[in-house]
């Protein structure tokens, strides 16, 4: 397929490696080959769904799905199913592909809303294909996701739908709070619960249901998914200041530029006082920030100790995720879920 | 609910009256009270789905659904089910609400793509709520539609999904052909089949399946829906030149302004020759047309006899729809389906 891609494709192993982190204990290393195979099969299921005869949409839809990011969602789903004793993850391949498509659809529409130029190190879909194609491609990916979800019992389709509705609500909540530092922590967590945590929680709760884990496993995975989602988002907020833009695939300071009141910004604002607080407010409110503005905001954020405090808070959510796994039978796959929660808050991309 | 509405709400009867047309034979008049009740119950089902606790989205979503247009889709579905002998249409209420939501979601995203200011006589959703909310509201309506569709067997969900994919493909095909008169009739019908006909066809085929009509009824309704959809769109093309803007709820010449190569424009262009053809091409290609440009384009279109020829073509599609009904048991409801197909191409709004 020819595409207006400007980036290079990274192999699946390298991408997934970012979700797993550098320091995987050697006894968990041996779990990776079957999981990589799971992810390849989920990718293949997704490819298959996008092979339909929609010549206008197929190119943009596949472009949007290419690369596919760190695969944290399908990886968590595959590990979670195996932790319940499953020998194969085939029963969740379509659902994992559906959640990947929903995630991708949201990214495409987010990039329209944010006028984002870059995504995963190359032109965003609206940049590469224009706004009309980007909007419709997002819709198309949602439709394909629901077709995949239709393979499952109604309860799972509805859980998936509610998570999508949460996600939409979270996006509107977020877009209404731009450049506004008065929204506060409670509002921040309302957004994150809906925009990031709900979909991971729904995906993992569905895995527990499909895997026959019973209500304790469903609740455990719902809570694990929610906590991992929140931890992940908190780490993302910090990485907006300290990440490696090449690995992130987008420029640093994107949140500051778009005026997102991340927890880092809210904590900094709350901790500063006097003229520094006033300066922070003034700089944060600038619609087209210059490099100097961004660097000064970062400096003030650091003086307030905000990145460290948010980093600690992320680690607390990761431990909460680990704790939520208590009802799951102990074993190497449960250990890997614990590892993945902690890796989410230690990652640098 | 408070809303930034600027228009007045028209009663359901008046809106549905536009789908039924003025000259309903008296023996069919008596079918209307139960059908109006069906439509009210479908509206109630839709309202119910939008009552979920999504404060940010609920307002925009309900605004988008308010008025609800001429109700041609739910009306056709209710009549089609009754034509198969059903005493109640309860079994298709959720599906009809789902198709209304899908239709509405598409209109919201269309208005983003087209930068439309007006829809159904009042501010469009992007105009009233801003682009971010409009994009996410469209997504939310799709999600709710699929949740409603999840009440039905998988075959119906998939048919509904394929129609949505067709619709998305049609929109991209259409948006890529703006200001281009060289696309031709075949391209035009490819767009209309996907963008307008597929969803009506899928809705009615699903009704046949739910109503237990068997494969002949499924095929008959699929073909009837497809033909009515095409007839409807052809009439829409003519009404862009001759409609009543107050009743249409949007300004005349919208297609010409947006550079849509409607069948009227394509027929005019094909029939004109010499300097008039050149003038038509030049005016059609103007991105910001003045009133004089639009009136001259209308004049050239009339000189070419295009509106009459497209009107005739619309009537042929309506007759094709009527003919497709042959396998359906004769009776007053089948007669009403015939009447509705013919009313679609006689309407003035």
- What's A313's domain CATH number? 1.10.600.10
pLDDT of residue A6: 37
A139–B164 C-beta distance less than 8 A: yes
| Number of other residues whose CB lies within 10 A of the CB of residue A90 | 13
Of B166, B168, B263, which is closest to residue B222 (Cα–Cα)? B166
Q: A326 in helix, strand or coil?
A: coil
What pTM was estimated for this model as a whole? 0.87
Q: CB contact, 8 Å: A183 with chain B?
A: no
| pLDDT above 90: residue B68 | no
Residue A341 in domain: no
Q: CB contact, 8 Å: A161 with chain B?
A: yes
Q: What angle do CA B168, B169, B174 make, to 5 degrees?
A: 100
Q: CB contact, 8 Å: B159 with chain A?
A: no
Chain A residues within an 8 Å CB radius of B113: 131-132, 135-136
Residue B300 in domain: yes
Q: How far apart are CA B139 and CA A318, in angstroms?
A: 31
**Is beta strand B118-119 parallel, antiparallel or unpaired with respect to A122-123?**
unpaired
| pLDDT above 80: residue B53 | no
Q: How far apart are CA B205 and CA B240, in angstroms?
A: 30
Same domain, A127 and A180: no
Same domain, B141 and B221: no
Q: How far apart are CA A230 and CA A191, in angstroms?
A: 10
Residues 247-306 of chain A whose Cβ lies under 8 A from any Cβ of chain B: none
Same domain, A81 and A172: no
Q: What angle do CA A129, A134, A140 make, to 5 degrees?
A: 125
Q: CB contact, 8 Å: B144 with chain A?
A: yes
Q: CB contact, 8 Å: B66 with chain A?
A: no
Residue A16 in domain: no
Same domain, B146 and B227: no
Same domain, A194 and A267: yes
Tokens standing for residue B246: 């107050």
| pLDDT above 80: residue B5 | no
Same domain, A56 and A144: yes
Which run of H or E residues covers position B122? strand B122-123
pLDDT in tens, B145-184: 999 999 999 999 999 999 999 999 898 888 888 899 999 9
| CB-CB contact of A98 with A149 (8 Å) | yes
Instruction: Report the Cα–Cα distance between both ends of chain B, in Å, rounded.
Output: 28
* pLDDT, average across residues B89-115: 93
Q: Which of A125, A151, A177 is the last residue of a domain?
A: A151
In 3-state terms chain A splits into helix, strand, coil percentages (rounded to 5) of 75, 0, 25
| CB-CB contact of A265 with A310 (8 Å) | no
| pLDDT above 50: residue B4 | no
Q: How far apart are CA A184 and CA A177, in angstroms?
A: 10
Residue B206 in domain: yes
Same domain, B197 and B280: yes
A148: closest chain B residue by CA: B158
Of B121, B48, B344, B112, which is closest to residue B225 (Cα–Cα)? B344
Residue B341 in domain: no
List the single residue in B109, B130, B150 with the smallest CB-CB distance to A139. Answer: B109
Q: Which of A136, A151, A166 is the last residue of a domain?
A: A151
Q: How far apart are CA A179 and CA A286, in angstroms?
A: 8
* pLDDT, average across residues A271-283: 96
Tokens standing for residue B29: 């008049």
Same domain, A281 and A167: yes
CB-based burial of residue B244 (10 Å sphere; 0-12 exposed, 13-18 middle, 19+ buried)? Answer: exposed
B113–A175 C-beta distance less than 8 A: no
Find the length of chain A: 349
| pLDDT above 80: residue B15 | no
A142–B139 C-beta distance less than 8 A: yes
pLDDT in tens, A185-202: 999 999 999 999 999 999
Residue A17 in domain: no
Same domain, B252 and B111: no
Q: Is the dihedral of CA B297, B299, B301, B304 positive or negative?
A: negative
Same domain, B130 and B43: yes
Please tell me the total count of domains within chain A: 2
Residue B348 in domain: no
Chain A residues within an 8 Å CB radius of B54: 165, 168-169
Residue B345 in domain: no
Tokens standing for residue B63: 């605004």
Of B202, B199, B227, which is closest to residue B326 (Cα–Cα)? B227
- Sorted by sequence, the CB contacts under 8 Å of residue A106 that are 6+ apart come out as A138, A167, A171, B139
| pLDDT above 50: residue A1 | no
Same domain, A224 and A299: yes
Q: How far apart are CA A220 and CA B194, in angstroms?
A: 44
> What residues make up the domain containing B256?
176-329
List the single residue in A113, A140, A157 with the smallest CB-CB distance to B150. Answer: A157
Distance from CA of A97 to the nearest CA of B (A): 16
Of B290, B291, B281, B288, which is closest to residue B261 (Cα–Cα)? B281
Q: How far apart are CA A214 and CA A327, in angstroms?
A: 11
Distance from CA of A130 to the nearest CA of B (A): 10
Chain B residues within an 8 Å CB radius of A177: none
Q: Which of B84, B116, B151 is the last residue of a domain?
A: B151
Same domain, B139 and B202: no
């Amino acid at each position: 397929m020819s595409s207006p891609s400007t980036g290079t494709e990274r192999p699946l192993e390298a991408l997934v490696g970012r979700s797993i982190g550098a320091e995987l204990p050697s006894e968990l290393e041996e779990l990776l080959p079957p999981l990589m195979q799971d992810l390849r099969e989920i990718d293949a299921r997704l490819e298959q769904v996008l092979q339909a005869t929609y010549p206008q949409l197929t190119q943009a839809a596949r472009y949007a799905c290419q690369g596919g990011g760190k695969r944290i969602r399908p990886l968590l789903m595959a590990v979670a199913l195996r932790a319940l004793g499953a020998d194969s993850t085939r029963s969740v391949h379509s659902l994992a592909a559906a959640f990947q498509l929903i995630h991708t659809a949201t990214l495409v529409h987010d990039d329209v809303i944010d006028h984002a130029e870059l995504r995963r190190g190359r032109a965003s879909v609206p940049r590469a294909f224009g706004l009309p194609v980007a909007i419709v491609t997002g819709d198309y990916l949602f439709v394909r996701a629901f077709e995949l979800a239709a393979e499952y019992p109604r309860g799972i389709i509805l859980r998936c739908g509610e998570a999508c509705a949460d996600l939409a609500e979270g996006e509107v909540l977020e877009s209404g709070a731009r450049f506004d530092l008065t929204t506060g922590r409670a509002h921040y967590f309302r957004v994150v619960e809906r925009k990031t945590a709900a979909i991971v929680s729904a995906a993992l709760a569905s895995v527990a249901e499909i895997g026959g884990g019973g209500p304790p496993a469903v609740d455990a995975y719902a809570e694990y998914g929610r906590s991992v989602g929140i931890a992940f988002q908190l780490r993302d907020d910090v990485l907006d200041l300290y990440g490696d833009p090449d690995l992130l695939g987008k420029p640093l300071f994107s949140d500051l530029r778009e005026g997102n009141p991340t927890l880092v910004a809210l904590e900094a604002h709350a901790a500063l006082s006097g003229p520094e607080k006033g300066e922070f407010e003034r700089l944060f409110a600038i619609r087209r920030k210059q490099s100097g503005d961004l660097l000064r905001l970062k400096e003030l954020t650091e003086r307030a100790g905000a990145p460290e405090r948010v980093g600690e808070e992320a680690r607390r959510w990761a431990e909460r995720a680990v704790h939520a796994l208590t009802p799951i039978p102990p074993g190497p796959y449960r250990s890997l879920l614990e590892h993945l929660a902690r890796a989410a808050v230690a990652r640098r991309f």
